Structure 1
Amino acid sequence: MPSRNNSIEGKLPFASARTHFEVLGPDAAATLAMVAGDLALVLDEAGRIVDVTANPREFPDAQQWIGREWLDTVSVESRAKVMEMLANARKGVTQHWRQVNHITNEGEVPLRFVVVRLGESTNAIAIGRDMRDAAALQQRVLQAQQSLERDYLRLRQLEARYRMLFDQSADPVLIVDAEAFRIREANRAAHQLFQARNGTLQGAKLTALFSRPAREHLIAFLGSTLVSPGVLPIEVQPNNSADAVMLSASGFRERGGQFLLIRLSGAASAAEHASGEVMRVIEAMPDAFVLTDARMLIQAANPAFVELVSAATVDQLRGRPLADFVGRPGIDLDLIDGQLAKHDIARNVSTVVGARDGFDGEPVELSAVKTGDDQTHYGFVIRPIGRRLRDLPVTADAPRSVEQLTDLVGRMSLRDIVRESTDLIERLCIEAALEYTSNNRASAAEILGLSRQSLYSKLHRYGLGNLVDSLDE
């Protein structure tokens, strides 16, 4: 559609045009034509280009158009516009700016042209303005508009899904202003819980929906949830119900304001209440507790375990293998896993925590249980025993063995004493491995780094074969 901008139609004429422009010479007229547009074409009566002025950097092949028909330098779609402008120029009709696509070596270039007849001459001048910057700007504006429309459509779809999930949720859900505790949104289940007509809870005070004794506790609880996401739900009593409900909340920010997402569950059963008490006990117990999945990846842990492994928060531990913190690499947890697979329980297993980079680790005592059929989980209770070991009296067997070795000095050579010491240490290590693995020879051999055949040979060498056989029975 032709634009009427920058045309002379509708504009007031100069009051004294002859006085001002009578002295206008060829040079001044040429200057006006050059500054009026980015490209100017002088055309004869037949529409042939006889002269041209343009910036050679913007239109490097403009000089090649001289002597050619103007129609031959434009695209097929623009020829009708050129023919119309040439016909109107011959009649002396006022022109409007028309967009024409010029063909260049770099492709089509959009320009806006106006054709003006040169006085009484049959020639005319076509003044053009480069539209490439405007076209690029329009393209960017169009792309931005399309992107906004796509984002708007995506937000509308997300809002529709949120609204459907919010309204169809079986649990009562409330969106509450964290400052004034005014309800911003409430789903159908919330209206049913408080026996209110749909839409009447918006703007109501949250605390007014619960009994007076519970309001101060509720306000303190909501304040805690804004600074700590791990606060356990509380039990509150609605005004219009004899049954208490469990209330959980989490804070979030939106448009510079702070809000609370509040979820209400039905009256807590005795089992659910007991479960909550159990969780509180586990959180407060001095012994470390950790829960893992079937791959022994940490799912939850109490503060005692977090402190035991020198972590900052439990969030740093979730998803990490328990073997990174407990047991000697490739030994302890494998043995415990074997016992759990066979008996679903392991009691008072001696192991270490924090064994890495040459550090032997802190000795601990571990008990574990396996739960679940479809989704297996392991629960571990870990108690440090370093202080207990330091307080134990030294056994009498070890000093006697050492004294027996030192009594050999002077009666045997040092090489023989060293060989006897080696045999003593080897026997003690084998006995300790058998005791640690509950007399499992295969596991004991793995701990000691021996083959089973080598272990059997050493058992008979030290007279431990009959002892192990009797224990196995």
Structure 2
Amino acid sequence: MTILSTPSASMPFQHPERVLGAMSSDAAAGLVAAASDIAIVLDRDGVVQDLSVSSDDLVRSGLGDWRGQPWIDTVDSSSRAKVSDMLKDASAGQPSRWREINHLGEHGSSVPVRYFALGGASDGRVIVIGRDLQASAVLQQRLLQVQQSVERDYLRLRQAESRYRLLFQSASEAVLILDAATRRIKEANPAVCRLTGLTDTTVAGQAFLALLDPASVEAASRLLNAATSVSTPDPVPVMLIDGTPCLLAASMFRQDRSASLLVRLMTDQPVVAVSDSHATLTAVLDRISDAFVVTDTDLRILTVNPAFLELTHLSSREEATRLSLDQFLGRPQIDLKIMLTQLKEHGTLRNFATVLRAGFGEMEEVEVSAVAVPDDAQPTYGFSIRNVARRLAPAQAAGTALPQSIEQLTQLIGRVPMKEIVRESTDLIEKLCIEAALNLTSDNRASAADVLGLSRQSLYSKLRRYGLGNLDDIDE
């Protein structure tokens, strides 16, 4: 009787020959067909000798009679290497693992099937059993569509909230949001603080009527009561507690099953900020620790703050304005092209990791955020440059120097060859898969090996390699 190599089991049969007996070919064929959606028998050259398809879905998807064809010719180009590896391992009698293979279906469609190969027979035969993944692929596609829909809805909400915040904060008119039941202030824009002399922290939670002169409380109360029953009652004149005359208007809206009041305090003179905003902004930029640069569209420097002069070892703003930013920022022919493309297409750039070359030739790791300012007379770019060379790296597990995230891997681009990045990516994915399997199985290594499709010895080798888990009891 020809014996095929079998996958390692957490608890294998102790006496398979005695308990199973000499199984007939019909019984073996029925068992294999019942345990799989598709079963294929290959010769030593990988040519299909016979097959059994139990899944009607696979038949409807166009999987035909492959007898006499090389199995590798039935899969798409992305799966040919996987098929070669499976047949090589099976022919050598090595433990195999489940692999996802994509077949060529009707009308150019892709049919995913999860396969496992059993080999090691004396005549070189290989039995391949497969499970149909089309239902799983459909669910994954639906999940992806739902996730994308949720992300689009979330983005729309964020954009709507941003517009509301911008209008709310920039309005010169004093605007408050009150709880309709308690009449307490939930939100107030900066104009309210300037009008009443209160701060952002003290105005929230206050009773709105406490801001008014006692003689105006009754009229204001009637207006607020009317706003809960009438769509938009007529405004009434009131006086603040400091004697400032205002016109009070209110309307009600509902959100999250609760009622709120939108209240406006209108004065004859618009409430404006006391300080010069441009002078304040200039003073802040001069004192901020991050470097700030303004350039024209050709990256010629127009103005800089002192932090940029310190970072590049320039002596004065006048010296900087004679230079181009590409003398200092980015890896040659790589980073600036990407940054400029992003600015031209989207108008903003956030947290772009690159390097800055100082005046004496040394290089510093920096993070760049930028914005394009359209102007018919002189369009400009503004760059905020943060030195991240001294930023503490996240703690890594002992014995491993792998990047901890995809973000860290992308930061290697331009610094190390792509071949090294691909190898680091493979190691990172392998480590994350092992950690996930250990968490899923409550650190049961035998079960984790089964989940990953690895032998226990292979899993233990990888645990040692990545320094995962408690390794003291592995050899016990």
State the TM-score, normalizing by the size of structure 2. 0.51
Mapping for residues 404-423 of structure 1, pairs under 5 Å: none
* Distance in 1 of aligned mates of 2:128 and 2:75: 13
2:113 counterpart residue number: 111
1:72 aligns with 2:73: yes
2:173 counterpart residue number: 171
Q: Secondary structure at the match of 1:231?
A: coil
Seen in structure 2, the aligned counterparts of structure 1 residues 23 and 258 have a Cα distance that, compared at 3 Å, is: farther
* Distance in 2 of aligned mates of 1:153 and 1:8: 48
Query: Out of 220, 223, 239, which is 2:222 matched to?
Result: 220
* Distance in 1 of aligned mates of 2:48 and 2:15: 33
Post-superposition shift, 1:210?
1.5
* Distance in 1 of aligned mates of 2:114 and 2:165: 50
* Distance in 2 of aligned mates of 1:57 and 1:262: 62
Query: Out of 112, 131, 142, which is 2:133 matched to?
Result: 131
Mapping for residues 197-212 of structure 1, pairs under 5 Å: 197-212=199-214
* Distance in 1 of aligned mates of 2:144 and 2:221: 50
* Contact 2:213/2:243, CA 8 A, preserved across alignment: no
1:367 counterpart residue number: none
* Distance in 1 of aligned mates of 2:173 and 2:23: 86
* Distance in 1 of aligned mates of 2:191 and 2:230: 27
Task: Name the Cα RMSD after superposition.
Answer: 2.3
2:101 counterpart residue number: 100
* Contact 2:252/2:260, CA 8 A, preserved across alignment: yes
* Contact 2:100/2:115, CA 8 A, preserved across alignment: yes
Q: Which amino acid aligns with 1:186?
A: A
Seen in structure 2, the aligned counterparts of structure 1 residues 215 and 114 have a Cα distance that, compared at 3 Å, is: same
Post-superposition shift, 1:50?
0.8
1:58 counterpart residue number: 58
Q: Which amino acid aligns with 1:58?
A: L
Post-superposition shift, 1:28?
3.2
Query: Out of 128, 141, 144, which is 1:142 matched to?
Result: 144
1:21 counterpart residue number: 20
Post-superposition shift, 1:53?
0.9
Seen in structure 2, the aligned counterparts of structure 1 residues 217 and 15 have a Cα distance that, compared at 3 Å, is: farther
Seen in structure 2, the aligned counterparts of structure 1 residues 106 and 17 have a Cα distance that, compared at 3 Å, is: farther
1:321 counterpart residue number: none
Q: Deviations over 1:376-399 (max 9, x none)?
A: xxxxxxxxxxxxxxxxxxxxxxxx
* Contact 1:113/1:128, CA 8 A, preserved across alignment: yes
1:47 counterpart residue number: 46
* Distance in 2 of aligned mates of 1:160 and 1:10: 56
Runs of at least 5 residues in structure 1 that lack an aligned partner in the other structure:
1-6, 269-473
* Distance in 1 of aligned mates of 2:24 and 2:180: 78
* Distance in 2 of aligned mates of 1:77 and 1:203: 61
Post-superposition shift, 1:132?
1.8
1:35 counterpart residue number: 34
Post-superposition shift, 1:22?
3.1
* Contact 1:112/1:131, CA 8 A, preserved across alignment: yes
Q: Secondary structure at the match of 2:252?
A: strand
Q: Which amino acid aligns with 1:75?
A: D
Post-superposition shift, 1:15?
4.6
Q: Which amino acid aligns with 1:72?
A: D
* Distance in 2 of aligned mates of 1:23 and 1:219: 94
Mapping for residues 345-364 of structure 1, pairs under 5 Å: none
Seen in structure 2, the aligned counterparts of structure 1 residues 44 and 254 have a Cα distance that, compared at 3 Å, is: same
* Distance in 1 of aligned mates of 2:30 and 2:147: 40
Q: Which amino acid aligns with 1:59?
A: V
Post-superposition shift, 1:143?
1.9
Bigger RCO of structures 1 and 2 (CA < 8 A, at least 6 apart): 2
* Distance in 1 of aligned mates of 2:112 and 2:259: 52
Post-superposition shift, 1:89?
0.6
* Contact 1:243/1:267, CA 8 A, preserved across alignment: no
Seen in structure 2, the aligned counterparts of structure 1 residues 178 and 14 have a Cα distance that, compared at 3 Å, is: farther
Post-superposition shift, 1:145?
1.6
* Contact 2:232/2:250, CA 8 A, preserved across alignment: no
1:258 counterpart residue number: 259
Post-superposition shift, 1:153?
2.0
Q: Deviations over 1:340-391 (max 9, x none)?
A: xxxxxxxxxxxxxxxxxxxxxxxxxxxxxxxxxxxxxxxxxxxxxxxxxxxx
* Distance in 2 of aligned mates of 1:191 and 1:59: 72
Q: Secondary structure at the match of 1:200?
A: helix
Seen in structure 2, the aligned counterparts of structure 1 residues 115 and 223 have a Cα distance that, compared at 3 Å, is: same
Seen in structure 2, the aligned counterparts of structure 1 residues 189 and 56 have a Cα distance that, compared at 3 Å, is: closer
Q: Percent identity?
A: 37
* Distance in 2 of aligned mates of 1:143 and 1:37: 30
* Distance in 2 of aligned mates of 1:56 and 1:171: 69
Q: Deviations over 1:304-336 (max 9, x none)?
A: xxxxxxxxxxxxxxxxxxxxxxxxxxxxxxxxx
Q: Max radius of gyration: which structure?
A: 1
Post-superposition shift, 1:191?
0.8
Post-superposition shift, 1:218?
2.1
* Contact 1:52/1:63, CA 8 A, preserved across alignment: no
Q: Which amino acid aligns with 2:218?
A: E
Q: Secondary structure at the match of 1:199?
A: helix
* Contact 1:37/1:127, CA 8 A, preserved across alignment: yes
Post-superposition shift, 1:205?
1.4
* Distance in 2 of aligned mates of 1:246 and 1:120: 97
Q: Which amino acid aligns with 2:11?
A: L
* Distance in 2 of aligned mates of 1:161 and 1:102: 49
Q: Deviations over 1:78-97 (max 9, x none)?
A: 11100100011112222221
2:474 counterpart residue number: none
Q: Secondary structure at the match of 1:151?
A: helix
Post-superposition shift, 1:231?
1.0
2:157 counterpart residue number: 155
Runs of at least 5 residues in structure 2 that lack an aligned partner in the other structure:
1-5, 270-476
2:90 counterpart residue number: 89
* Distance in 1 of aligned mates of 2:24 and 2:134: 33
Q: Secondary structure at the match of 2:117?
A: strand
Q: Secondary structure at the match of 1:208?
A: helix
Query: Out of 111, 118, 122, which is 2:124 matched to?
Result: 122
Q: Secondary structure at the match of 1:12?
A: coil
Q: Secondary structure at the match of 1:59?
A: helix
Aligned positions, number: 261
* Contact 1:52/1:62, CA 8 A, preserved across alignment: no
Q: Secondary structure at the match of 1:88?
A: helix
Mapping for residues 431-442 of structure 1, pairs under 5 Å: none
Q: Deviations over 1:280-315 (max 9, x none)?
A: xxxxxxxxxxxxxxxxxxxxxxxxxxxxxxxxxxxx
